[in-house]
Amino acid sequence: MRKTTIYCLVLLGLLATPVAAVAQDGIDTGDNAWILTSSALVLMMTGPGLALFYGGLVRKKNILATMMQSFIMMALMTVLWAIYGYSLAFAEGSGPLGTFVGGFGHVFLNGVGMEPNGSIPHLTFMVFQLMFAIITPALITGAFAERMKFSSLLLFMALWGTVVYFPMVHMVWGGGFMSPDGALPCLDFAGGTVVHISSGVSALVMALYLGKRIGFPSEVMRPQNLTFSFVGACLLWVGWFGFNSGSALAADGLAAVAFVNTQFGAAAAVLGWLLIEWIRDGKPSMLGGVTGAVAGLVAVTPASGFVGPMDSLVIGFVAGIVCYLSIAVVKAKFGYDDSLDAFGVHGVGGTVGALLTGVFARVAIGGTGGLVEGNPMQFVNNTGGALLTWVFAAVATFVILKIVDAMMGLRVSEADEIEGLDISQHGEEA
């Protein structure tokens, strides 16, 4: 008798669960679970993913400082995001300025709680977006590795987040003029423009402004430990499923498309990079393979929720080749010291992705067609959005650099640079 009662209770429980899942104030527990998981995956891209990827590429005397430059964003951007960053990105803006930057409606996370935003709690949406605000500035650090003061880095990144990143998010995803119903509707599913072009172009400006490392390019500055870089790149790859597929903001069919596109773009880019590297340099390298993967992941990011899986193969393959050429040929020709190729991978890969999203977008996937479906306007819009982002990021970064430079300088002293940033900035050794 008691057994029967228990069975009945269990059965009731089973029946009740799915009802509760959808009926809880409009929150879908499946969606919420996936976006929270994705948030954790995206955080993992910065630490340890990017920290290892970059850390392995520098010389031994700078590995801790390089890892720290990524890691500190997990703290700095989180606090800024909590206080006013989320608000500037996603709160409704006022007047004509509202198309560029959000308002103060969500300052101190005012009005951001457990209530639904779409099918997930508003807090879930907020924390998912936070992880993007962490990795974007961390990506830039590759451009000025091995020579920037930690104190200047903190001030620069706080200003960069405030002036460049938060407004960029608002313009493209927060209802600004590059949003779907804005004046220049750009397709950017998970951050090709917002994350990769903005960080990559800013990285180039920083590499040019700060100047070369002492000894570049005559001195041999080979990576100290490519094993770290391999592990870091593979963690980035896995984390990118959260980045792209999570950007569906639901655990639905679109999330599956973005997931598959992520995998396909990365895979094709590995082959593209290795092919051209093998032809030009004589050997297919491990570093080339994993760098190609990251380039492909970058390029497929804006496209992942708008194109089909076969399109992703093309986007990835093209990105692998173009990013290789930008680093091995263009960088060598101009001689700027983008130490870890933040521009070559993210700026160039992001631009390739933004343009090709305008080419390959499919109505059947994301509701908008691109050039291949007879809608050249989308290609024009995406090109315009990429161009505007280039100009905005470059100008704003230059101005911020001027300010920080005047206040406290940007580079470590020559002696500190030669000694290494681990000792001179942090007082420790790996």
C-beta of 91: minimal distance to another protein in Å?
A: 41
SS3 call for 412: coil
Asked whether the bond before 223 is cis by omega within 30 degrees of 0, the reply is no
CB nearer to another protein: pick between 30 and 223:
223
Determine the Cα–Cα distance for residues 246 and 259; give it in Å rounded to an integer: 9
| Phi-psi group of 286: left, alpha or beta (phi > 0 → left; psi -120 to 50 → alpha; rest → beta) | alpha
C-beta of 170: minimal distance to another protein in Å?
A: 35
SS3 call for 84: helix
CB nearer to another protein: pick between 2 and 283:
283
CB nearer to another protein: pick between 42 and 323:
323
C-beta of 66: minimal distance to another protein in Å?
A: 16
Determine the Cα–Cα distance for residues 76 and 72; give it in Å rounded to an integer: 6
CB nearer to another protein: pick between 57 and 210:
57
C-beta of 326: minimal distance to another protein in Å?
A: 10
Phi, psi (5° rounding) for residue 92? -65, 130
CB nearer to another protein: pick between 299 and 393:
299
C-beta of 50: minimal distance to another protein in Å?
A: 17
SS3 call for 131: helix
C-beta of 220: minimal distance to another protein in Å?
A: 5
Residues that bind another protein (CB under 8 A): 217, 220, 222-223, 277, 280-283, 285, 287-288, 291, 324, 327-329, 332, 341, 344
Determine the Cα–Cα distance for residues 235 and 246; give it in Å rounded to an integer: 16
Secondary-structure percent of the chain, ordered helix, strand, coil, rounded to 5: 75, 0, 25
Amino acid, res. 167: P
Neighbours of 294 (CB within 10 A): 29
Tell me the two tokens of residue 347. 């700026």
Amino acid, res. 206: M
CB nearer to another protein: pick between 139 and 249:
139
CB nearer to another protein: pick between 110 and 227:
227
CB nearer to another protein: pick between 28 and 337:
337
List C-alpha distances in Å: 262 to 53, 242, 298: 19, 10, 9
C-beta of 251: minimal distance to another protein in Å?
A: 37
Amino acid, res. 193: T
Phi, psi (5° rounding) for residue 120? -125, 160
CB nearer to another protein: pick between 104 and 278:
278
C-beta of 330: minimal distance to another protein in Å?
A: 10
C-beta of 344: minimal distance to another protein in Å?
A: 8
Determine the Cα–Cα distance for residues 244 and 302; give it in Å rounded to an integer: 8
Which residues does 154 contact at the CB level (< 8 Å), separation at least 6?
A: 72, 76
Tell me the two tokens of residue 189. 């599913």
Amino acid, res. 147: R
Q: Is the dihedral of CA 358, 362, 363, 366 positive or negative?
A: negative
Name the helix (H) or strand (E) containing 97. none
CB nearer to another protein: pick between 277 and 417:
277
